[in-house]
Structure 1
């Protein structure tokens, strides 16, 4: 039976989705063509009707993974939140046990960066493009921009935060099987240090001898008189 163009396109997308997930779960060397086609519900030979070779599939699947991971940065329904709250939500989501425990549904940089570094220039180009897009979009979140180019200062902060988050997630995944408490602590520590405060703490008050509450600064001034 002849496959229609729409069915062929659907099959191709199914292969990409399966490969993007499996590569993040098991690494580039831990997944075979048969694993991918079986997950997509297709035959082994069907893959090569859509991709020139496995390297071509790897590149497209990794690019697809970056598309998926970027989406939450743009798609979260937080239009009514202040910038620090939006940023805190994204940091907390990235550095969460859920993200740590489901690499196949998460950030490709944390899951595949080491593999990409060993795979040569063509895959490195895919990762460079994907990471650049992540930095640019995260910098917009930091600056509160919907579109346009963020400032160099926001880009620098985004680069620092994303590199820290990726590294922290890698360490959390590497330690969770042997020492879950350490893994959880890595995530919690980075969430605390990277999350901006949402509001200034209220000033402390003390009661004067007359029973009237006074701010510490006012009391200090009174002493100085």
Structure 2
């Protein structure tokens, strides 16, 4: 059965969005093409009609995720303090599927294809630029923005990693990072 170009484009977008959500939730290596296809309501043959490999899908999903996350931040601009409070909240830590793609993929991008890393790097650079604009202008502004973004990603990642075995420590990590970063705003 032949499908229209519009339906093909819609199917491709559904695959990208589904993969992006599942990759954030389970990790890129934690989910296969069959699971992605099923969750998207398509066959794995349909997936391979749009993407030559899982790496290609992962790269596009990473680009989609980081663009979407950046779009949400810039759609309703917030202060650095508001961003820190939002990002380092327990709700962000506990919601892998909807959380920041940079934090979700922080520990695995280095093991992925370079195209996945390119999407990650692009998203990281965008957020550093956004944070830089929230800081007082002057010498060291970019370095501070880099440190803030690395601390946000690292803080939420560590909190997620220790949460199952030590929820109190996980909360302490978030609160400590929040307190430290709010001193910059």
Whether the TM-score (by the shorter chain) exceeds 0.5 is yes
C-alpha distance in 2 between matches for 1:120 and 1:19: 16
C-alpha distance in 2 between matches for 1:137 and 1:22: 27
- 159 and 197 in structure 1: CA distance in 2 versus 1, 3 angstrom threshold: closer
C-alpha distance in 2 between matches for 1:129 and 1:71: 13
- 24 and 33 in structure 1: CA distance in 2 versus 1, 3 angstrom threshold: same
SS of alignment partner, residue 105 of structure 1: coil
C-alpha distance in 2 between matches for 1:120 and 1:51: 14
Query: Structure 1 residue aligned with 2:123, among 117, 124, 130?
Result: 130
Residue deviations 1:115-145, cap 9 Å, x none? Answer: 11112433322222221112112212335xx
C-alpha distance in 2 between matches for 1:44 and 1:68: 25
- 120 and 17 in structure 1: CA distance in 2 versus 1, 3 angstrom threshold: closer
- 121 and 44 in structure 1: CA distance in 2 versus 1, 3 angstrom threshold: closer
Residue matched to 2:108: 115
- Higher relative contact order structure (alpha carbons within 8 Å, sequence separation ≥ 6): 2
Contact residue 87 and residue 152 of structure 2 kept, 8 A: yes
SS of alignment partner, residue 108 of structure 2: helix
Is residue 153 of structure 1 aligned with residue 135 of structure 2? no
C-alpha distance in 1 between matches for 2:131 and 2:93: 20
C-alpha distance in 2 between matches for 1:57 and 1:152: 40
Residue deviations 1:99-123, cap 9 Å, x none? Answer: 1011221222211122111124333
Residue matched to 1:66: 66
Is residue 172 of structure 1 aligned with residue 165 of structure 2? no
Contact residue 24 and residue 97 of structure 2 kept, 8 A: yes
Q: How many residues align?
A: 185
Residue matched to 2:93: 100
Residue matched to 2:9: 9
Question: Rg: which structure is higher?
Answer: 1
Counterparts of residues 25-64 of structure 1 (less than 5 Å): 25-64=25-64
Task: Show structure 2 runs of 5+ residues with no match.
Answer: none
- 152 and 66 in structure 1: CA distance in 2 versus 1, 3 angstrom threshold: farther
Contact residue 73 and residue 138 of structure 1 kept, 8 A: no
> Given the two structures, how large is their TM-score scaled by the length of structure 2?
0.91
Residue deviations 1:173-208, cap 9 Å, x none? Answer: 01111111111111111111111488xxxxxxxxxx
C-alpha distance in 1 between matches for 2:56 and 2:131: 28
Residue 10 of structure 1, CA deviation:
1.0
C-alpha distance in 2 between matches for 1:19 and 1:181: 32
SS of alignment partner, residue 104 of structure 1: coil
